[in-house]
Amino acid sequence: MTVSNQLVVPVTLWGRAAPTHCISVIYLTHDQKTIITGCNDGRICVWDFKDKQKIIPRCLLFGHTAPVLCLSHGSAATDSTLLVSSSEAG
């Protein structure tokens, strides 16, 4: 197995409204300022949750080809910015 330190993540930006997003899994960061949702079509959405009255979409990530089933922190450190995701396809 070869591991590369170069990761390309396609990111999509949108206007005032986020696209339709049928949530299959949800993750709230330790600081409770960010919500990350996985979708049935394989997309992952990152949301800002700074104001308790408003959730703002930050970015939409594409990478899975099947429903996202699991989202988890990628490190034991509470201040980690790493996230791990898994889908039905692996």
Is pTM beyond 0.85? Reply is: no
Q: Going residue by residue through the chain (90 aa), what tens digit of pLDDT does each one get?
A: 445 566 666 666 667 776 677 899 999 988 888 999 999 999 999 998 877 778 888 888 888 999 999 999 888 776 777 889 999 887
For the chain, the structural domain boundaries read 23-87
E strand segments, the chain: 11-12, 23-28, 34-39, 44-51, 54-61, 68-73, 83-87
Exposed e or buried b per residue across 9-18, where buried means at least 16 C-beta atoms within 10 angstroms of its C-beta: eeeeeeeeee
> Strand 44-51's sheet: what is its strand order?
11-12, 54-61, 44-51, 34-39, 23-28
